[in-house]
């Protein structure tokens, strides 16, 4: 828990400490964080974007290799999505088989509406949603609950992950040595989290406002 706390609030220092002790432990730790953020719906708060940026910054000035880092984290993102999809699929099976009238009335109806959404917007949601915190944690889960076509899901998960990971890690790798960025890294890290969360809160606000107006 102490390590996670330092990663969240003292990202650069924590990662430098892990890399200095054992660079392979750093790869493993980063893999687990990225995997958990998209692999389990209880970890949407993990700072995937900021962590990728930080990892890129550190790779530019340590023994960590950007050439190894990018494919390792792409793999973590892909496996996380697949794991979350399978959890959603198992839950959907239990809901469909449930004899509870309330479950059948509300949850099955919700699943049907979600299925329609994925039929229309599933492909682009898997790619675009990868760039937004919270949203990227739940998209694979709901794709599983509606049993979205798995080969299609796998294909677009790979595309989304292959865009997301290099975008943030290479940005950190090439810009992280700039003095101003070094001196204001914690502010930049926080800014990344806030900026990427804006669309999520905007969508939530619009949804709540629309319901009240209706």
**pLDDT tens-digit profile of 101-135?**
665 555 666 677 777 778 787 788 889 888 888 88
- Per-residue pLDDT band for 201 (boundaries 50, 70, 90) equals low
Non-local CB neighbours of 126 within 8 Å, separated by 6+ positions:
81, 139, 140, 143, 153, 156, 157, 160
Mean pLDDT in residue range 20-41: 90
- Hey, what are 213's tokens? 């107006």
Tokens matching residue 40? 């389990």
The SS3 assignment for 152 reads: helix
Could you tell me which residue, 210 or 61, shows the higher pLDDT? 61
Q: Which two tokens stand for residue 136?
A: 């990227």
pLDDT of residue 160: 94
- Dihedral sign for Cα atoms in the order 65, 10, 194, 29: positive
Task: Give residue 73's pLDDT band: very low, low, confident or very high (50, 70, 90).
Answer: very high
CA distance 173 to 66: 8
- Tell me the pLDDT of the chain averaged across its residues: 79
At residue 48, the pLDDT reads 82
Q: What percent of the chain has pLDDT over 90?
A: 28
Distance CA 46, CA 52 (A): 11
Q: Is the pLDDT of residue 44 over 70?
A: yes
Which of the four pLDDT bands, split at 50, 70 and 90, describes residue 91?
Answer: confident
Report the 10 Å Cβ neighbour count for 137.
25
Residue 65: how many other CB atoms lie within 10 Å: 12
Q: Per the structure block, which two tokens stand in for 26?
A: 């750093």
Query: Would you state the pLDDT for residue 101?
Result: 61
pLDDT tier for residue 34 given thresholds of 50, 70 and 90: very high
Q: What is the mean pLDDT of residues 153-178?
A: 90
What pTM value is reported for the model? 0.79
């Amino acid at each position: 828990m102490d390590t996670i706390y330092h990663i969240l609030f003292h990202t650069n220092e924590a990662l430098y400490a892990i890399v200095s002790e054992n660079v392979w432990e750093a790869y493993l730790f980063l893999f687990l964080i990225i995997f958990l953020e998209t692999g389990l719906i209880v970890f949407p708060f993990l700072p995937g974007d900021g962590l990728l940026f930080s990892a890129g910054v550190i790779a530019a000035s340590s023994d960590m290799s950007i050439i190894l880092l990018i494919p390792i984290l792409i793999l973590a993102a892909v496996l996380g999505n697949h794991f979350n999809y399978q959890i959603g699929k198992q839950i959907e099976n239990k809901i469909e088989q449930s004899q509870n009238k309330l479950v059948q009335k509300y949850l099955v109806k919700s699943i049907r509406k979600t299925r329609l959404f994925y039929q229309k917007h599933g492909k682009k949601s898997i790619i675009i949603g990868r760039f937004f915190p919270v949203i990227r944690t739940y998209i694979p889960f709901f794709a599983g609950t509606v049993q979205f076509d798995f080969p299609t899901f796998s294909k677009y998960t790979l595309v989304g992950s292959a865009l997301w990971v290099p975008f943030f890690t290479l940005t950190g790798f090439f810009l992280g040595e700039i003095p101003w960025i070094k001196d204001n890294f914690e502010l930049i890290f926080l800014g990344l989290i806030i900026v990427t969360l804006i669309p999520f809160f905007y969508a939530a606000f619009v949804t709540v406002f629309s319901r009240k107006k209706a």
